[in-house]
Structure 1
Amino acid sequence: MTDERPAEPSPDSSDDEPDETDPARGDAVDGVSESGGDSGPTNDLTLAEFHDACQREGRPVLTAGAVARWLDQPHERVSERLTALSEEGELERLSVSTDPVVWYPSELDDLTERERVVVFPKRREIVVDRPAQFTRAQLSQFAHLADANGENGYRYVVRPEDVWQAPHESFESLERTVRQALGQRSPALEEWIHSQWDRAHQFRLTTHDDGYTVLEAKSAEVMGNVGRQKLDEEHVHAPISETEDWVRDGAEAAIKRLLYEAGYPVQDHRDLESGEDLPIDLTVGLREYQQTWVDRFSETGEGVFVGPPGSGKTVAAMGAMSHVEGETLILVPSRDLARQWADAVAEYTSLEPSQIGQYHGGQKNVRPVTIATYQIAGMDRHRSLFDDREWGLVIFDECQHVPSDVYRRSTHLQSRHRLGLSASPIREDDRQTEIFTLVGPPIGTDWQALFDAGFVAEPELEIRYVPWGDDEQRNAYVSAEGRERYRIAAENRGKVDEIRYLLSAHPDSKALVFVDYLEQGREVADAVDAPFLSGETPHHERRRLLEEFRRDERDLLVVSRVGDEGIDLPTADLAIVASGLGGSRRQGTQRAGRTMRPAGGALVYVLATRGSREEDFARRQLQHLGRKGMTVREQTVEPTDES
């Protein structure tokens, strides 16, 4: 029996009165009726206002009393106007036993097709039903897509960091974008956005004529009450004036982070070295949204490309390299990704292989474009190789690693331009804001827009609650505690039978099976007669297996946690997550993303042991994907006679 439910409920509009809005976006506005004439007295009822009442009531069929109550107009006057709209063919009337008359739009489908926007200024939320692509593009410039219910309903939240990174030269320009997106004015929301815009322009780092760095404040008050309260002698030498401080060498990143945490992002206007010129031509065309990412990056010289796996962040990053045309350092989590980056740069740009170097445990070559691992870049004995070179651009792949203490050392590499790449810059320690202070602001397109445009296929996700494979494991689970209990549920042998069943149900699919434990991976691989790719697999063997999978010479791989980020897995038609539900939301994103591709449908099955903590882990992990617009189903697997 299938139990389908939304990943997360829509916000309750009763918390906060929405702004007066024009929900019909183009019906009656500013006193002009839909027929084009003057709407007459202010208490005349227009079709747009009827739609507004329907929105507030949550029903497309209303009585005259309900309309009068919601619009705060006299009942008699509303009844007269409803009758007039009916005679004009705009509304239909229907007599029912419980009320003399109910009213509904003549074109009821039109109510469900139209774009509607409701603003909740106190919560700084915007709920949009069936938004046009233009509206979503405008909203993405100053708001964060927090929820998509899979039925063309979207909830946006305007956070401080969204305003701080808005791609506008002036508040007036941002204000126009806000009004275009909302189709109205929202004084309370606009006032708050203006206050955040001002915060983002209170501090900046500049380069003094003598070559050292200066922290400048917009006023003596903000320098004294914020800058000099948050910073100490570790960060600055001494005041230069009431609004200027002399910055210690190497303290720039710490200053940016501390002031960001205080609610004052720092504008970085330093004259950083741009490195040697390096002409780079991109040999492939960028999709429209990729070009938008590159354009946004070119305006500020820093940022994080955020998009689902398969959206082409690597190619977009090469577009940024082509824009900068400077020597580039690319930092990655593993040597496998370093090799794949080197191959991609050689394939998609005009650079010769001799201009591309790799620097990691396998080889150590510094070239105009160098791909290195985070670990190597952070080691003292190798740091000089990078610090001594003036990089025009530093790219942080899988940049959610950057805030980790071992990786943060690499952010001291100074460059005129910084770019991060991430499918999901979420960290379970809630330090993801550091990504944007250390690398740059988020730049991206909401996942649903890529699904709708067909650039990335939306996979179908299903959680399957699997019974225990035998009583021995079930009894061991009951008596175990902590992590041991979690591991027993993860390695439930009943999942092996379910994996076999799912693979047989999709015989023509290219499939990836994900596991968290080596012993389980070997057991599953033996059961389905497939290779097991793990951290123990030699690099040359990994390369061969992945190439065979890409060339359709192999249609099934069992993959350990190494597949989450350490290697660039090819896309598949089918993904089965057998264990790993206690992992991060980012891990769920990565694994589901292995099935995202430009064409065709794909399936992701998540197996959770029924009655164990895995049920909660599965829902928590996949709620994150549900909020990005994916549909998540749930299915209970009934035990077989044998079990």
Structure 2
Amino acid sequence: MTDESVDGTADAVTLESFLDALQDEGRPVATAQQIARRLDCSQATASDALNRLVKDGDVERLNVESDPVVWYPTEWGRLADRERVVLFPERRELVVDQPSQFTRAKLSQVAHLVDTSGTKGYLYRIRQEDIWAAPFEELGDLLQTLRSVLPRRSPHLEEWIERQWSRARQFTLTTHEDGYTVLEAASESLMGNVARQKLDEEHLHAPISDTESWVVEGSEAAIKRILYEAGYPVVDERELETGDPLDIELKTTLRDYQRDWVDRFLDQRAGVFVGPSGSGKTVAAIGALAAVGGETLILVPSRELAGQWRAELLEHTTLDPEQIGEYHGGQKDIEPVTIATYQVAGMDRHRALFDRREWGLIVYDEVHHIPSEVYRRSADLQSKHRLGLSATPVREDDRETDIYTLVGPPIGTDWDALFDAGYVQEPEVEIRYLPWANDEERNAYASAEPRAKHRIAAENPAKVDEIRHLLTEHPTAKALVFVDWLDQGRDISNALNVPFISGETPHHERDRLFNEFRDGERRTLIVSRVGDEGIDLPNAELAIVASGLGGSRRQGAQRAGRTMRPTGSATVYVLATRGTREEDFAQRQMRHLSEKGIRVTEQGID
């Protein structure tokens, strides 16, 4: 009887088992000893089998100084095409090469997609808030989902997840039979050492019991935010307003992922739809509105967006025009479905009107505004269902968690999945580094005060020539040119004979120009920050960012997002003056897109 038959493993050392062993090692090459350990056979058996694979042309061997022989696959593509999941339990991170649709779907429920740039594969991180917001009724279901994609179980990670799962269920808001709100803790210690230490008389009245406190009316949102920041998300089981029934049907068929968003939202009754421009967040929200079937308040940042919501509601539902009201500086009508601006809804003289109405659903569009002081008061409006929408809920002040505590946890699909399915076209993004137009401009920048340098670089006259050149290179594309400075916008407008839209442009003039752009009557527009969000420009095929690189990552993603639509390829050019801080700003803004899987290239212009 041979050694191989004793081991019973000669047949087990195949190309597939060799690839599996490399995956377990987490290395592209391995010694016979390492392969033997992974496949539970003798080193001699492994060496003989690997030599046989060398003869078959599947594996190659290499003598190196540090180890007599290492082995690796002949066709590296076979290894690259295989899904490989590497877990770093101490950091709670997973790197996934070539993830399948199944793996993406499972990880989207329990982890945060950090990076898809390709340098590290797909990088996922499991955070506290991911466990707190995971869409599962039982801890076992969450663990089973995670185990289904991991190469092996990790007791260390699972213990941490179990602690976070328990932590998310320590405090509950309920409605007392007499109508007031009660904060209930899982133990006397939590109520005394956490809730009553973090909260004061503005939030809680006298205790009802050792584990219950009477909540001050109107402080519920603040309580949820404070305890969340303390590491204890609150389960909200209040008997909130459901609103009068609304007779409405959806006339549009939702995509599979939109239906999944709506179903998850209905289960949670609170959440934020997160997806790139063009992914249909508004339509999905209208689907949620129809599913809830109650009177609805929709909060938006601008009058233009209010008008667009009205048009979308009439297009996709059976609502009659008289059932939809708008409440802002232009008109003030409250109807079963009311669209209001954040600023107006937060004003004292209007707030009572919204408080008196029993809303079954409140929709917060462009929800990343919520943490700001101007808009926060409108978030205190609470209903049984709260839904936020945002392509990019990142904030430079790192207050994204405010969004999820005031409105709800994120609900979304990873951007790469939408690109692969063809629902959204991935734009080509290129940063172009431009020289100074002349020595005079360069010298002005060099001698300027630090605050002035940013604007001088942004208004580099060389950008006008580059914009003209890019428009010539894309003669048939519908193009948007973004600027931050009004003087620059006017200069480019005069040089190119193209309209410039800013906050100074009357609303009727904005509407006319945007409609001409949508209808193809006008090919190019220059827009200030009024175009950064809330304006539906579905046919934009080219975006040129001439200035505004000192803005947020969200602003950069929004501007690029104006070209991310279901059909047709699109290009984004980001213009930065070489040798200035604009270079760093451009790279920072575009990094957020790169993390979402969008390819960003760079080019120097002479």
Shorter-chain TM band: over 0.9
Q: Deviations over 1:429-473 (max 9, x none)?
A: 111110000000000011111111111011011100001112221
Displacement, 1:289? 0.8
Match of 1:624 in 2: 592
Residue pair 2:366, 2:534 contacting (<8 A) in 1 also: no
Displacement, 1:160? 0.6
Match of 1:635 in 2: 603
Aligned residue runs from structure 1 range 58-69, under 5 A = 60=28, 62-64=30-32, 67=35
Displacement, 1:80? 3.2
Q: Which amino acid aligns with 1:92?
A: V
Change (3 A) 1:80 1:497: same
Q: Deviations over 1:470-490 (max 9, x none)?
A: 222111111112221100000
Match of 2:575 in 1: 607
Residue pair 2:54, 2:61 contacting (<8 A) in 1 also: no
Match of 1:549 in 2: 517
Change (3 A) 1:481 1:46: farther
Residue pair 2:305, 2:534 contacting (<8 A) in 1 also: yes
Match of 1:167 in 2: 135
Q: What SS is found at the alignment partner of 1:239?
A: strand
Tell me how far apart the structure 1 counterparts of residues 43 and 283 of structure 2 sit (CA, whole Å).
Answer: 61
Aligned residue runs from structure 1 range 79-118, under 5 A = 79-83=47-51, 91-94=58-61, 103-105=71-73, 108-118=76-86
TM-score, normalised via structure 2 length: 0.94
Tell me how far apart the structure 2 counterparts of residues 110 and 566 of structure 1 sit (CA, whole Å).
Answer: 45
Displacement, 1:397? 0.4
Partner of residue 270 from structure 1, selected from 238, 249, 253: 238
Match of 1:297 in 2: 265
Partner of residue 185 from structure 1, selected from 138, 144, 153: 153
Match of 1:418 in 2: 386
What RMSD, in angstroms, separates the aligned Cα atoms of the two structures?
A: 2.4
Aligned residue runs from structure 1 range 71-150, under 5 A = 75-83=43-51, 91-94=58-61, 103-105=71-73, 108-150=76-118
Displacement, 1:205? 0.4
Q: Which amino acid aligns with 1:197?
A: W
Displacement, 1:134? 1.0
Residue pair 1:546, 1:570 contacting (<8 A) in 2 also: no
Aligned residue runs from structure 1 range 247-262, under 5 A = 247-262=215-230
Displacement, 1:40? 4.3
Change (3 A) 1:246 1:552: same
Q: Which amino acid aligns with 2:525?
A: L
Q: Deviations over 1:372-411 (max 9, x none)?
A: 0011001111111101101010000001111111111111
Q: Which amino acid aligns with 2:397?
A: D
Q: Which amino acid aligns with 1:176?
A: Q
Residue pair 1:93, 1:101 contacting (<8 A) in 2 also: no
Displacement, 1:82? 2.2
Matched, 1:588 2:556: yes
Tell me how far apart the structure 2 counterparts of residues 624 and 615 of structure 1 sit (CA, whole Å).
Answer: 15
Q: Which moved more, 1:554-563 or 1:57-66?
A: 57-66
Tell me how far apart the structure 1 counterparts of residues 210 and 26 of structure 2 sit (CA, whole Å).
Answer: 56
Aligned residue runs from structure 1 range 3-402, under 5 A = 40=8, 47=15, 50-52=18-20, 54-55=22-23, 60=28, 62-64=30-32, 67=35, 75-83=43-51, 91-94=58-61, 103-105=71-73, 108-150=76-118, 153-402=121-370
Q: Which amino acid aligns with 1:311?
A: S
Aligned residue runs from structure 1 range 434-453, under 5 A = 434-453=402-421
Match of 1:536 in 2: 504
Q: Which amino acid aligns with 2:514?
A: L
Displacement, 1:599? 1.7
Displacement, 1:84? 5.4
Displacement, 1:103? 3.4
Displacement, 1:221? 2.4
Q: What SS is found at the alignment partner of 1:569?
A: coil
Matched, 1:509 2:477: yes
Partner of residue 425 from structure 2, selected from 446, 457, 463: 457
Displacement, 1:76? 3.8
Tell me how far apart the structure 1 counterparts of residues 404 and 72 of structure 2 sit (CA, whole Å).
Answer: 49
Aligned residue runs from structure 1 range 567-582, under 5 A = 567-582=535-550
Aligned residue runs from structure 1 range 481-520, under 5 A = 481-520=449-488
Residue pair 1:136, 1:181 contacting (<8 A) in 2 also: no
Q: What SS is found at the alignment partner of 2:455?
A: helix
Displacement, 1:242? 1.7
Displacement, 1:74? 6.4
Number of aligned residue pairs: 601
Structure 2: gaps (5+ residues): none
TM-score, normalised via structure 1 length: 0.89
Q: Deviations over 1:232-276 (max 9, x none)?
A: 221111211121111111111111011100111000000012110
Tell me how far apart the structure 2 counterparts of residues 498 and 38 of structure 1 sit (CA, whole Å).
Answer: 74
Q: Deviations over 1:545-604 (max 9, x none)?
A: 111111111111111111002533334111100000000001001000001011221110
Residue pair 1:571, 1:596 contacting (<8 A) in 2 also: no
Change (3 A) 1:70 1:487: farther
Residue pair 2:82, 2:98 contacting (<8 A) in 1 also: yes
Change (3 A) 1:482 1:68: farther
Tell me how far apart the structure 1 counterparts of residues 256 and 207 of structure 2 sit (CA, whole Å).
Answer: 47
Q: Deviations over 1:15-37 (max 9, x none)?
A: xxxxxxxxxxxxxxxxxxxxxx9
Q: Which gives a bigger RCO, structure 1 or 2 (Cα 8 Å, sep 6+)?
A: 1
Q: What SS is found at the alignment partner of 1:138?
A: helix
Aligned residues with identical type, % of pairs: 65
Q: Which amino acid aligns with 2:166?
A: D
Q: Which moved more, 1:219-228 or 1:156-165?
A: 219-228
Tell me how far apart the structure 2 counterparts of residues 42 and 188 of structure 1 sit (CA, whole Å).
Answer: 34
Tell me how far apart the structure 2 counterparts of residues 563 and 97 of structure 1 sit (CA, whole Å).
Answer: 59
Tell me how far apart the structure 2 counterparts of residues 564 and 150 of structure 1 sit (CA, whole Å).
Answer: 28
Tell me how far apart the structure 1 counterparts of residues 64 and 115 of structure 2 sit (CA, whole Å).
Answer: 40
Change (3 A) 1:231 1:305: same
Q: What SS is found at the alignment partner of 1:197?
A: helix
Structure 1: gaps (5+ residues): 1-36, 639-643
Q: What SS is found at the alignment partner of 1:182?
A: coil
Tell me how far apart the structure 1 counterparts of residues 16 and 186 of structure 2 sit (CA, whole Å).
Answer: 46
Q: Deviations over 1:324-348 (max 9, x none)?
A: 1000000000111111111111111
Tell me how far apart the structure 1 counterparts of residues 117 and 538 of structure 2 sit (CA, whole Å).
Answer: 29
Q: Which amino acid aligns with 1:450?
A: L
Q: Which amino acid aligns with 1:143?
A: A
Displacement, 1:224? 2.2
